[in-house]
Amino acid sequence: MLADKTLPCNLSERLAAEILNICRNTLRSHTQRHTFCGPVQPVERSRKHSAQPKALTESERQDVVNLLIGDTYTNQPPMQVYHDLLQQGEYLCSVSTMHRLLRAQNLNGERRNQRPSQSHSVPRLHADGPNQVWTWDIAKLPTQKRGEYLSLYVVMDLYSRFIVAWMVSHKENSALSSQLIQEAYQRYQIQPNSLTLHQDRGTPMTAHCYLDLLGELAVTASHSRPRVSNDNPMSEAQFKTLKYQPDYPRRFDNYDHAMRWCQDYVTWYNYEHHHSALAGFTPYQVFNGEVQDIAKIRQEALDAAFERNPERFSKGRPMVKLPPNEVFINPIPEDADQQTIETGVNFPTLPRAKRNAI
């Protein structure tokens, strides 16, 4: 290890161990072995590599493995095998030894077919105009009868927050969702390959008949990640607005009561609700393209108020704020690397018909 019998006077053990990249105890052991004036002592082997007197022999280990993989115990874990043998008055080894022998031959672990870990892409949606991206969800409306709920289907335009279609039903299934989407598709005369429909992973949104319909209509399907409510924020926020209305019934009397109340709510939300995310414009004004005309009226009112009392506006002449030109769901972060941008996680899921064609 060392050329000299002892360390130089100006070299400490700590520094020598750091230079040689070894432990200080190893350095001391080799130093003492080189300076010993007697017969050379053999290097002691560690207990890990030494034969253990209490260990099973090779034949005993093979007998245990053959028993564990035999027809009698092939489907039983070592714990069951151990106690069953012990009950018969036979002891071969401990449970941990059985596990260790199986592990040495890759015979332990789950032998049934297991579902591999799932990796779902992040839905990244972008809209700079109406009827480019629709988002929808289903909310439960409680009734006076305990345990009975109605289902409220709401389809909303992402860019304008305009509710393009809605429905109240006693049931929640894929047939009703398909009917709602198809009627809205025809009502607004959506062109093929021009609309992306975003939803979560509920049964009505992932059924084969529903996805087949989207493929026939050439509508791109986008799904939220499992158990991630933030992937569909606009629909969730709309349902919060619905249930926080001052006149929202805690429980509806019946189906007709829910229909009347939802009809009034949708009318108010689309045509009278000054949406905070739309700079105070209503969803219909943004959806119908009336923003510029109404913005001129608002700007004229602000200019008149400024001319009358300019001292009341400490930041100068007020300007009307306009709704955002682009709306995103899960936009790409500014500090994202190029590899993240180039992967497919920033594109929605293709319709089933297109997936089969690839």
**17 against 212, higher pLDDT:** 212
317: alpha, beta or left, given left = phi > 0 and alpha = psi -120 to 50?
Answer: beta
Query: HSE-up of 282 (CA within 13 Å, CB side)?
Result: 14
pLDDT for 287-325, tens place per residue? 999 999 999 999 999 999 999 999 999 999 999 999 999
Of the listed ranges 3-12, 236-245, 283-292, the least confidently predicted one is: 3-12
What does the pLDDT read at residue 221? 94
142 or 3, higher pLDDT: 142
pLDDT confidence tier of residue 114, bands split at 50, 70 and 90: confident
Distance, CA of 296 to CA of 151 (rounded, Å): 41
What confidence tier does 260 reach under pLDDT thresholds 50, 70, 90?
Answer: very high
Tell whether the model's pLDDT for residue 273 goes beyond 50: yes
Contact indicator for 206, 197 with CB cutoff of 8 Å = no
Give tens-digit pLDDT for 328-341: 999 988 766 554 44
Average pLDDT, the chain: 87
Please determine, for residue 179, whether its predicted confidence score (pLDDT) is greater than 90.
yes
Query: Which of 112-121, 259-268, 291-300 shows the lowest mean pLDDT across its residues?
Result: 112-121
Pair 278, 160: CB distance under 8 Å:
yes
- pLDDT of 159 above 70: yes
pLDDT reported for residue 119:
81
